A and B are shown apart, each in its own frame.
Chain A
């Protein structure tokens, strides 16, 4: 089975974050929006940092954003990533106002600049696991 050979760290969803991971499994990026004031927050957590409300609405996000920063990793730090170095991790300001960090696919760090548009893609390393990644959001690449 694929799970038996998957050797990277896997997320352990919590009560607060399960809808996020379930969303990715369904091919969607969903974020926590405060049910009281509407503030969007990430990473998933129990209350709104603006108004302290526990009310949550999960909203589908655009998956589009701009490069905030990045790193090109040459040392794997974990045996599961040994075969992948060098790889680029990009930190992205999503249009919705929060950030995500995920691998950049189809380009490396030399292609990047702050503010460059990127979009989210969902990867399925195993049938039970969905993880975010980003690709450059160039007009010519759009489906």
Chain B
């Protein structure tokens, strides 16, 4: 049995993305959820499945209570850090295809800027216990430090340059400026990137994603139910997750330049019955510029080692061969753990992406990346 076309995204919602929401995390998630549910033409009481974000204090019980859900038939979490949201699309499609539920809510929300810094959060997570024991005492603490050796090795093996990474930051910023709900609205150049302060070489400040307050949510519905709803359904064609060797410490990973998505992408393409050449637009998880470059290779948009020239060619810009992160991504719109990437893909495939619309976008993909290397991918098409 395949999950192809068993489910569709029927509703999307986002709050404003800010540095200080002044709202509780629960309120942010409920606000985004209400928008997504209304977008689908549903009411909260229609929700019969929920997949809350695993690193969030807001749990299924909070949604049952706040929405007085009469009969929640399915709840789960997909604890894969930044790969969680797209992995949750797979989980929702699985539950729907098994007949457990019809309308699954996928909420996320956080006060990532105004409360709790990323370095503190990492230290508290059980999946990073080995990093806590062996790497933090020698000074490897922040994600930028943990990821930098992957980028450095890629540079040494393939000649990838910081200016090539800059192209990802620059084109993503240009897209954010078109978005209307992006935290970063000032254009940047490659020279600005090169002048930004070094965080952990080779990663500069402008290689790093934002810390954000806000919420985002989607509704995933059974394909047969989606056809009768308010909006054009966006069908899930192929979906998969992949876990790298040594998921708990990058240091011990057999191939530091390959991520979990290298295992997931072929499965998702096979399920969808398409190839990378069929993709019109891609929303690629961008916690750091290098992670985008590595995923482009691992997905098969270019060969391993050729990500630098690929991005520098302008391929990833609006109007290029493969426009990516048309909303501004985690780098320039908001760090909403990639749920904002799912929302943007749906907008693109509905033809509602405004000034960032990719002409005639029919087929697209969205990825997640998290927990030091886990990957997730969903290929979607407009109905």
* B-binding residues in A (CB < 8 A): 8-14, 17, 42-43, 45, 68-75, 77-78, 81, 84, 86-87, 89, 91, 98-103, 109, 113-114, 131-133
Contacts of B133 in A (CB 8 A): 11-14, 17, 43
Q: Taking CB as reference atom, which chain B residue is nearest A21?
A: B133
**Is the beta-carbon distance between B139 and A81 smaller than 8 angstroms?**
yes
| CA gap between A13 and B135 in the complex, in Å | 13
Contact status of A114 and B139, CB under 8 A, knowing A43-B134, A71-B149, A74-B197? no
**Is the beta-carbon distance between B150 and A103 smaller than 8 angstroms?**
no
Contact status of A73 and B119, CB under 8 A, knowing A101-B140, A103-B139? no
| CA gap between A74 and B200 in the complex, in Å | 6
Contact status of A78 and B149, CB under 8 A, knowing A72-B200, A114-B156? no
Contact status of A69 and B119, CB under 8 A, knowing A9-B136, A75-B144, A102-B138? no
Is B249's beta carbon under 8 Å from chain A? yes
Contacts of B148 in A (CB 8 A): 71, 73
| CA gap between A103 and B144 in the complex, in Å | 16
**Is the beta-carbon distance between B149 and A91 smaller than 8 angstroms?**
yes
Closest A-B pairs by Cβ, 8 of them: A71-B148, A77-B142, A69-B149, A72-B201, A69-B153, A77-B141, A9-B136, A74-B198
The residue from A8, A91, A103, A114 contacting B251, defined by CB atoms under 8 A apart? A91
Contacts of B132 in A (CB 8 A): 9, 12
A16 to chain B, nearest CB (A): 10
Considering the complex, which residues of chain B in the window 290-322 have a beta carbon less than 8 Å from any beta carbon of chain A? none
B240 to chain A, nearest CB (A): 24
Is B157's beta carbon under 8 Å from chain A? yes
* A-binding residues in B (CB < 8 A): 119, 123, 130, 132-142, 144-145, 148-150, 152-153, 156-157, 197-203, 249, 251-252, 256
Q: Taking CB as reference atom, which chain A residue is nearest B203?
A: A71
A106 to chain B, nearest CB (A): 16
| CA gap between A65 and B202 in the complex, in Å | 23
| CA gap between A62 and B251 in the complex, in Å | 19
**Is the beta-carbon distance between A9 and B153 smaller than 8 angstroms?**
no
Contacts of B135 in A (CB 8 A): 101
**Is the beta-carbon distance between A98 and B252 smaller than 8 angstroms?**
yes
| CA gap between A10 and B134 in the complex, in Å | 9
A109 to chain B, nearest CB (A): 6
B205 to chain A, nearest CB (A): 9
**Most chain A CB inside 10 Å of its own CB: which residue of B140, B199, B202:** B140
Contacts of B130 in A (CB 8 A): 43, 45
| CA gap between A131 and B184 in the complex, in Å | 41
Q: Taking CB as reference atom, which chain B residue is nearest A98?
A: B252
The residue from A9, A91, A109 contacting B137, defined by CB atoms under 8 A apart? A9
**Is the beta-carbon distance between B137 and A75 smaller than 8 angstroms?**
no
Q: Taking CB as reference atom, which chain B residue is nearest A71?
A: B148
| CA gap between A13 and B132 in the complex, in Å | 10
Contacts of B137 in A (CB 8 A): 8-11, 131
The residue from A8, A12, A75 contacting B200, defined by CB atoms under 8 A apart? A75
